[in-house]
Amino acid sequence: MPSSSALRIGARLLAIGSLLALPGALAAQVSEEQQEAVLIYECGKSLVWAEAYSDEVLRVTSDEVWAHFDQFAASHSISEAKAAIALNGYWQEIYDEDGAEELASMIMMAALSCEDKYLKRREQVAATSEAGRLVRELSVEQLQSLLERTDDAPSVADYIVYQMPNGKDPFADSPKGELLGRLVVDAGASGIRRFSDAAILAMVGARYWQYNPAATRLVDAEYRRRLRDRNYSEAQGRSWTHRAAADRAEQARLAKAKPVGSIGRHCDKYLEPAGPGTPAAWVTKCSSR
């Protein structure tokens, strides 16, 4: 059994269960992203405690959880200090009211729950990665052929930006990026409004074509129109673009890019990135050949 001193330290750092257990005033102070960060942080700290004080051999290590936390926190601009602040006072109160033994039991329950959560997460990551490896990458010619048959430029744009989350190689030609620029010009100021936020933000935040001033002007104008519609400031717009880039990178890392966006006789989903005050959301689009 750990010492009372160790448990007092644990009380300031550890959480169990869900943020639903937090007092209403505290829960209201954190965003959805901060809540998720706290849950990941909780798992990391509870596993650290279990590794130090429990005889139970867990199949998930704290290192795996900290890697997830670092990735999530970087993508959403959340610091570890913020995650700790959201929990410290509450767990000190639990220790003071219920004692060391109850706290130790609750921490171990959290560690076991997190073990199950991260075992399932491993399976999900493996499944999506395998699915991504099986996806056949489409050539520019195939994309053009699909575009001619479907006239679905927004979905082709989605496909290109998720296949190329960081834009073109600055030292190499980019046939798909050039195709994307042509799609923008062909769509014009009215047609580009059909493009997803994800596609517009990608083209604002990264370079896809070598030289296409008409496409660049159209994208910039559409981006600013969407900022005005949302009443976003320039700073909020930059944050929105940064968050979108992080979302694209995460999708690419997990090999979740779809083969043809929503092209074809099916419904497809893509991720609309989060903006200031607006959470990320999956959007379903359906179309037929």
Mean pLDDT of the region 143-160? 87
Which stretch of 11-15, 142-146, 180-184, 199-203 has the lowest confidence by average pLDDT? 11-15
Cα–Cα distance between 203 and 220 in angstroms, integer?
Answer: 9
Q: What is the pLDDT of residue 248?
A: 66
Give the separation between CA 108 and CA 44, rounded to whole angstroms.
12
Supply the pLDDT for residue 89. Answer: 67
Lowest-pLDDT choice from 22-26, 178-182, 279-283:
22-26
195 or 276, greater pLDDT: 195
Phi and psi, residue 194, nearest 5° = -80, -15
Q: Which pLDDT does position 7 carry in this prediction?
A: 43
Q: What is the pLDDT of residues 212-223, one digit of tens each?
A: 999 999 999 999
Q: DSSP string of 246-275?
A: HHHHHHHHTT---SSTT-SSEEEEEEEPPB
pLDDT of residue 205: 85
Contact 93, 102 (CB under 8 A): no
Split at pLDDT 50, 70, 90, the class of 92 is confident
The runs of H, that is alpha helices, within the chain are: 4-13, 24-27, 32-53, 62-76, 80-98, 100-134, 140-150, 153-163, 175-191, 197-205, 213-230, 234-253
**Average pLDDT for 76-89:** 78
Q: Is 169 exposed, middle or buried (0-12, 13-18, 19+ CB in 10 A)?
A: exposed
pLDDT at 13: 40
107 — pLDDT class (breaks 50, 70, 90): confident
Q: Indicate the DSSP class of residue 44.
A: H
Give the model's pLDDT for residue 79: 82
Which residues have C-beta within 8 Å of that of residue 73, sequence separation ≥ 6? 37, 79, 80, 83
At residue 281, the pLDDT reads 53
User: Higher pLDDT residue, 287 or 148?
Assistant: 148
In tens, the pLDDT along 18-61 reads 333 444 444 445 577 888 888 898 899 889 989 999 998 899 99
Higher pLDDT, 276 or 163: 163
State which amino acid sits at residue 75: S
Residue 178 has pLDDT above 60, yes or no: yes
Q: How much is the mean pLDDT over the chain?
A: 75
- The pTM of the full predicted model, rounded to 2 decimals, is 0.44
Mean pLDDT calculated for residue range 226-248: 79
DSSP secondary structure letter of residue 125: H
In this prediction, residues 50-76 reach a mean pLDDT of 90
Position 151 scores a pLDDT of 85
Residues 6+ apart with CB under 8 A from 42: 14, 15, 16, 87, 110, 114
Q: Is the dihedral of CA 277, 281, 240, 44 positive or negative?
A: positive
Query: Does the pLDDT at position 74 exceed 80?
Result: yes
3-state secondary structure 138-172: CCHHHHHHHHHHHCCHHHHHHHHHHHCCCCCCCCC
Q: Where are the domains positioned within the chain? A: 4-133, 137-287
Paired with 207 in beta bridges are none
Tell me the two tokens of residue 199. 């596609």
